[in-house]
Amino acid sequence: MKSYTTLDLSQETNNHFYKNDLGITQIGDPFILKASDNTYYLYCTSAANGYYCWKSKDLVNWSGKKMCYIKKSDAWCVDSFWAPEVVEYKNKYYMYYSARSTEGSLRIGIATSDKPEGPFEDVKNKPLFDFGYAAIDANVLIDDDGSKYLYFSRDCSENDIGGINKSEIYGVRLNEDMLSLKGEPELLLTPTQKWEKSSVNPLWNEGPEVIKHNNIYYLSYSANCYASSSYSVGYATSSSPLGPFEKSEKNPILTSGTSTTISGPGHHSFTVSPDGTEIWMAYHTHTDPKTGGGNRKLNIDRVLFTDKGELYVNGPTLCYLPIPSDGSYTNLAKEAHISSNVSTPHLLTDGIFTLHQKNSIYDSTIPISGEEATATITLEFKEPVKVSDILVYKGVTKGQEFQKVKAILDDHYQTEEYTMAEDTDERAAILSFKEQTVKKVQLILTPKNPTKNLSLSEIMLLRQN
């Protein structure tokens, strides 16, 4: 029997990981702006008379809470301050926000500031536009050619269609001044898919967010009631910023599903990692998943585009994950050759990990063998590399989960065995140790139950830079 030097695990002291417990609660509808000063600014539904703002350098640690917009006594609006979004354009900051007018109807306002943290002041003491119906949840897209578009939700409170109140998503050109509209809004999305109808009446398509990738416009949105566990995110695509849009058959792409510890993920926004190499989604979930309601907290998870051009979210998560990429670490897994007994080795390093059964196509299976009934995965490098952290993510196939994992490095070192916690949303085993230079990493996985195969969704090997 081989003798190994055992490496102690020190996950608690590693600063390359975060968990979706970011300390921002009693909020909703989070929007994150990465400003030109490379600082992140968070704006949320957060106060009775305006909005708070937080600051961060890494998307994980937030501080500096302050009011960035406060309603004036003679303002056009009185309450229901929801869903602020801020756009930086030509050294000025434009806040588009939702509020209830003095006449009692919901409208979208516009305020500006010379600083991302405010104070923001209304440009004019009236809504941005008024088409005679309630409107909320503004989102702005500045396209590659400089043209500007505003997306919003026509609120269900004043939109009765055949006896069902519906929130629907509209789009319209925005003028160069960012302060006025060009033309009439066009209807882009209305609740049609089965998953969007759990609330029965009213129905919602709200919280639009548009992102462009490979000349395709992805209009993502939330559906169902924000206070319920079924609040989720879907998306539609188009080759034009104003449609027509076609909803994805993969919807919803962010949902709590059958989880009892995550509830109501939705009303999101997009931003990029500190080094600009990754896309991230900010969204809210219920602070207390058992009660739901308006007390919500901030979450962030990574967003990817699959080979088929599908928008994919690695969430909602509660497990430990690598922090948004900032240049302090590198994931080396893609550089490794993975042992051939793995069914689809490329799926273990594609950046996608699975949380729901419908996404099991992104899992890889590994056969169980030997008297000890374990599965072995070998990752080999052409040249020696430095490794300090190994992450192994479970797949979603029932009965094929692993319970324990350890790593053997170059047949010299062995880590302590990591045991997965029971009855939690823990998805990843994390082996953190003093950095080692190696050419080969063997992972020994023990199944939770005796099965023919194990199901995994992702492996990461991190090097501290």
> pLDDT of 345-361, one tens digit each?
999 999 998 988 888 89
Longest dimension (CA), the chain: 81
Residue 119 has pLDDT above 90, yes or no: yes
pLDDT range class, residue 138, cuts 50, 70, 90: very high
* The two structure tokens encoding residue 413: 């070192």
Nearest-CA neighbor of 230 among 265, 260, 206, 202?
A: 265
Render pLDDT for 297-315 as a digit per residue (tens, 0 to 9). Answer: 999 999 999 999 999 999 9
The type of residue at 255 is: T
| Peptide bond before residue 265 is cis, with ω within 30 degrees of 0 | no
Q: Which of 29, 85, 326, 401 is catalytic?
A: 29
Query: Is residue 206 flagged as an active site residue?
Result: yes
Query: Residues of CATH 2.115.10.20 domain(s) within the chain?
Result: 18-322
Q: Does residue 29 carry a catalytic annotation?
A: yes
How many CB atoms sit inside 10 A of residue 82's CB? 21
> Average pLDDT of the chain?
94
CATH topology of domain 18-322: Tachylectin-2; Chain A (2.115.10)
The CATH superfamily holding the domain 5-14+329-464 is Galactose-binding domain-like (2.60.120.260)
- CATH code 2.60.120.260 region(s) in the chain: 5-14+329-464
pLDDT at 340 over 90: no
Query: Is 115 strand, coil or helix?
Result: coil
3-state secondary structure 201-243: CCEEEEEEEEEEECCEEEEEEEECCCCCCCCEEEEEEECCCCC
d(CA 103, CA 68): 25
Alpha helices in 263-371 (DSSP H): none
How does residue 320 score in pLDDT terms, banded at 50, 70 and 90?
confident
Rounded CA-CA distance 328/309 in Å is: 29
- In the chain, what percentage of residues exceed pLDDT 90? 84
pLDDT at position 425 is 72
Q: Which residues contact 236 (CB under 8 A, 6 or more apart)?
A: 188, 189, 218, 219, 221, 245, 246, 247, 248
SS percent in the chain: helix, strand, coil, step 5: 5, 50, 45
Better pLDDT: 347 or 319? 347
Instruction: pLDDT band for 408, please (50, 70, 90 cuts).
Output: very high
Whole-prediction pTM: 0.95
pLDDT of 1 = 46
What average pLDDT does this structure show over 399-406? 93
What contacts 88, CB < 8 A, 6 or more positions away? 33, 35, 36, 94, 116
CA distance 454 to 357: 15
In the chain, what percentage of residues exceed pLDDT 70?
98
CA distance 34 to 40: 4
Q: Residue 176 gets which letter from DSSP?
A: T
Phi then psi for residue 453, to 5 deg, are -140, 165
Lowest mean pLDDT among 6-10, 341-345, 432-436: 6-10
| Nearest residue to 445 (alpha-carbon basis) of 381, 398, 395 | 395
Residue 320, CA distances (Å) to 15, 71, 392, 426 in order: 11, 39, 11, 8
Please state the rounded mean pLDDT for residues 71-85.
Answer: 97
Q: State how far the Cα of 319 lies from the Cα of 295, in Å rounded to an integer.
A: 21
- In 71-215 the beta strands, taken as DSSP E runs, fall at 77-89, 92-101, 106-113, 121-122, 135-142, 148-154, 160-161, 164-174, 181-189, 203-213
Distance CA 207, CA 109 (A): 16
Residue 227 CA neighbour count, 13 Å, CB half: 5
Q: Which residue has the higher pLDDT, 16 or 392?
A: 392
Instruction: At 108, list the tokens.
Output: 């979208």
Structure tokens at 156: 């269900």
Catalytic residue among 137, 206, 363, 389: 206
443: which residues sit within 8 A by CB, 6+ positions away? 376, 377, 378, 379, 390, 392, 405, 406, 407, 459
Pairing assessment for the beta strands 5-7 and 413-415 based on DSSP bridges = parallel
Cα first-last separation, the chain:
35
The phi, psi pair for 272, rounded to 5°, reads -120, 160
